[in-house]
Amino acid sequence: MGQTMAEKVLARCSGRADVVAGEYVTARPDKLMCHEAFAPCALTLRRMGVERLADPDSVYVIIDHFFPAPTAAHAKSHSIVRDLVERYGITHDLGHSGICHQVMVEGGHVGPGELVLGTDSHSTTYGALGAAGAGIGVTEMTYALALGELWFQVPPTVRFSLSGAAGPAIMAKDVVLRLAGQFGTDVAQYAAIEFSGSLCAQMGLASRMTMANMGAELGAKFAMFPTEAFGPDQDAEFAAVHSVDVTGLEPQVAQPHNPGNVVGVSAVAGVRVDQAFLGSCTNARVEDLAVAAQVLAGRRVHPRTRLIVTPASQAVYLEALRAGHIEALAAAGAAITAPGCGACPGGHSGVIGPGEVCVSSTNRNFRGRMGSAEGFVYLASPAVVAMAALTGELSDPRELVSEPWL
């Protein structure tokens, strides 16, 4: 019987010829990615007297959630990370060069068919390259760092077949928000996603990363795009196949307080916006900054609204700077922050206050996610975020963006 991408990865990593959805295996991941959570993991191992990791060369460590450190306590935790990286001989020290998932992908640290575990739920992003990326917690990472293995249930696979002609201003974010709205945020719970169909062929790496990233918001363990190097067997069995035609899709917005609470932008047009945030592992790549620059070049951010732009990585920052996007956004009045996770999880550099409305290019709008529990977060594409910054309210970016942006 043919195998899905997830079955192939877990078969290889558990030393088996094949595995079937539903069975349990012990697998050896190819890569382990840790952000600041490396500190609690490694401190636990230190206390236990574990002096060597199973494979320090497979471990990638980066500081992204609280960089630059907003408090002395965070600065101290970063020192601890630095110390432990040295102590455990981590060869892939990624410093503080951006958001973990962006840096892993742009640095060439992830390959098709690999099993990559990260201490971050959006590790699904690696599926953009055909990898099986999954988030785990610190206890499981501690175990995996020490022993180089972890238990898995082989997930069933839900396939999304995406087709149609994307309209003006439509971005991958609109497509994945549509999936969350139409099928629910648990459509792929305990399952892997495989994206397929003619629309995928039109999607560049940035778009694929957005889709795979928000596989986490569809409940998925992995969210994978087939590549030339790695894909499912022709006769692979899927638990479900959902076909979606994006022709005529309007820009989508997830209303507070759930990523599945999705409507077309016209349904919420006019909602007053206090903060527009362009950042996160979901949507802060060069393409995302470019569309925002197109909307805002030669114009000004609305006086009642603040626009905060947090590039996904130092490399993105530099490329966007050289392309003129950063200048266009700064000239329009955007606050450009250091690359990192920033305001997305409510850490620093743009948290919102009680009663405030933020439209955000990020992945989650849970209550309190970006600061005050009395705040309101709307999720949308970078085009919608930029348009809101310009007009001070939720509004349709198709007025200024005439092409699809995949």
Partner 1 sequence: MAVIRVGSGSEAPSLMRRGRVWKFGHDVDTDVMAPWDTISAPFEERRARVLHIRPEFVEGMRPGDVVVAGRNWGCGSSREQAAENLKLLGVGAVVAESFGRIYFRNSVAIGFPNLACPGAWAACEDGDEVEVDVEGAVVRNLTWGIELRGTAWTEDMLAIVRAGGLLQVLRQRLGLG
Binding site for partner 1 (CB under 8 A): 24, 44, 48-50, 73, 77, 119-121, 135-140, 142-143, 146-147, 151, 185-186, 189-190, 219, 221, 258, 260, 345-347, 364, 366-369, 373
- Closest to partner 1 by CB, 138 vs 335, is 138
Minimum distance of partner 1 from residue 186's CB (angstroms): 5
Residues 174, 210 contacting (CB under 8 angstroms) = no
Residues 379, 365 contacting (CB under 8 angstroms) = yes
- Closest to partner 1 by CB, 150 vs 289, is 150
- Closest to partner 1 by CB, 57 vs 374, is 374
- Closest to partner 1 by CB, 77 vs 395, is 77
Sign for the CA dihedral angle at 269, 271, 274, 279 comes to: negative
Calpha distance 257→49 (Å, rounded):
43
* 3-class state of residue 319 by DSSP: helix
Minimum distance of partner 1 from residue 189's CB (angstroms): 6
- Closest to partner 1 by CB, 49 vs 303, is 49
List, in order, residues 6 or more apart from 177 with CB less than 8 Å away: 214, 252, 253, 254, 259, 262, 379, 380
Is residue 221 packed enough to be buried (19+ CB in 10 Å), middle (13-18) or exposed (0-12)? Answer: buried
Question: What separation in angstroms does the CA of 260 have from each of 75, 97, 145, 151, 263?
Answer: 35, 31, 34, 30, 9
Phi/psi at 392 (5° precision): 80, 10
Sign for the CA dihedral angle at 286, 292, 295, 301 comes to: negative
Minimum distance of partner 1 from residue 25's CB (angstroms): 10
Minimum distance of partner 1 from residue 231's CB (angstroms): 24
Minimum distance of partner 1 from residue 217's CB (angstroms): 8
Minimum distance of partner 1 from residue 94's CB (angstroms): 18
Calpha distance 337→335 (Å, rounded):
6
- Closest to partner 1 by CB, 142 vs 196, is 142
- Closest to partner 1 by CB, 262 vs 292, is 262
Minimum distance of partner 1 from residue 64's CB (angstroms): 14
Calpha distance 42→146 (Å, rounded):
9
